[in-house]
Amino acid sequence: MASEYSPGLEGVMAGISGISEVDPIQNTLIYRGYDARELVEKCSFEEVAYLVLYGDLPTHTEYDAFTSRIKAQRDVPSSIYDLYRSFDNSAHPMDTLKAAVAVLAAQAKNASDISESASLAAAESLLAKIPTLVVNGYRVTHGDAPRPPSKELDHNQNFFYMLTGGEPNPMFNKALNATQILYIEHGFNASTFSSRVTVSTLADLYCGVVSAIGTLKGPLHGGANEHAMAMLLEIGTPERAEAWVDDALTNKKKIMGFGHREYKKGDSRAVIVKKHVQELSDALGNRKWIEISDIVEAKMLAAKNLYPNVDFPVASTYYLMDIPVELYTPMFVMSRVVGWSANIIEQLANNRIFRPQSEYNGPHDKKVTPLAARV
Ligand code: COA
């Protein structure tokens, strides 16, 4: 049964899901019935990860068991670091991460098991190990020794500890908690959709996550956060911002961190993250990035009626916390692996293979000239 072609599948309903609801009219994001704004205010990353994976917020006992399981699984085999050392220096961290997750799959005993219990176990293992791969991937490819992950610290504290070896700053933890919660899940975005397409063939969770990492890398999706920071750095000063945007728009360039397929009146996640940029800028006495951002925002609204999406304020948040720009997109994976996993498990529970149609617009009736006669 043919249906009308919609470029980019805009407006096409491709599935039914009970995991998250993106409401562009109300400008809200709901995870399993809870407003993401309230989750950011009241919950830790681990509580929300549990909610998205298991369907509701954990009890105290469930929370303790879940966080203990995650902390205990943070180590990765040292052979993965040998692999990192073999990579080209210019390798993008999303490519090294994608390779490392594929290796974890090949080293796992039952990676091909697509039962719900095996998928949940694989999801927890990846949730525990991906921050280790992200930070130690960066360390090893920059000539530093891998730092063993903490077995006590929570998700956010452990990330800062692994990166700096020092005491985590409470204000940084709060900001990272917000961005990591808000990155967990977001409807049928491109990477989530690709993970669902992959497992709809009855491939396993690892395959779905590897597909999704590749999809997230692109600048129109998760790669937008590091590209947004590259843009802010290139603009450099508030005085240059307006002319820079004018010039970019005249040259038909896309401004990274702006626009969204679903949200047309602003991204509720961006509003929350911007508060953290403000708080960090004031506390650190560095208002440069927020001043440039405000000018870019005003200009984009006036010129294109486009609002910033979550990746725009995330870029300044991470930069103010001294996190290397090349880690911004891999840090998205540290969180979104939860959403991908929940979607993969939901897809497998009620599966039908994704197989849409394409309309052929190539030539017909060509005749084969033998190779020897072809010039
Ligand atoms: N900068 C400049 N113009 C933009 C823009 C941006 N960031 N985002 C959209 N537009 C313009 C397009 O050029 C197009 O204009 P036109 O109709 O005059 O040709 C119009 O807005 C519609 O954009 P389109 O790319 O077709 O929308 P989409 O729904 O297919 O794409 C995004 C959505 C998010 C991919 C797109 O807005 C984008 O590329 N944003 C920048 C990357 C980004 O921040 N991604 C992270 C998303 S969370």
Q: Supply the CATH number for residue 121's domain.
A: 1.10.580.10
Indicate the DSSP class of residue 144: P
pLDDT band at 3 (very low <50, low <70, confident <90, very high): confident
Contact indicator for 29, 46 with CB cutoff of 8 Å: no
Please give the Cα distance from 267 to 28 (Å, whole number): 8
Contact 93, 327 (CB under 8 A): yes
Rounded Cα distance, 261 and 265, in Å: 11
Write the pLDDT tens digit of every residue in 206-243. 999 999 999 999 999 999 999 999 999 999 999 999 99
Please tell me if the CB atom of residue 264 comes closer than 6 angstroms to any atom of ligand 1. Answer: no
Instruction: Output DSSP code: residue 110.
Output: T
Residue 121, domain extent: 34-168+185-216+337-349
Question: Residue 300 Cα, ligand 1 centroid: separation in angstroms?
Answer: 11
- Quote the pTM value: 0.97
In a domain, 157, yes or no: yes
64 located within any domain: yes
CA 281 – CA 273 distance, rounded (Å): 12
User: What is the predicted pLDDT for the residue at 168?
Assistant: 80
Nearest alpha carbon, ligand 1 atom 26:
261
Domain count, the chain: 1
SS3 39: helix
Residue from 221, 250, 254 whose mutation best tests the ligand 1 pocket (most atoms within 8 A of CB): 254
User: Does residue 15 have a pLDDT over 70?
Assistant: yes
* Cβ proximity of 239 and 294 under 8 Å: no
Asked if residue 267 is part of any domain, the answer here is no
CB 342 within 8 Å of CB 53: yes
Q: Is residue 117 part of a domain?
A: yes
- Spatial contact of 208 and 195, defined as CB atoms under 8 Å apart: yes
pLDDT in tens, 164-186: 999 889 999 999 999 999 999 99
- The phi and psi torsions of 116 (rounded to 5 degrees) equal -65, -40
Residue 108 within a domain: yes
pLDDT in tens, 118-162: 999 999 999 999 999 999 999 999 999 999 999 999 999 999 999
DSSP 196-209: HHHHTTT--HHHHH
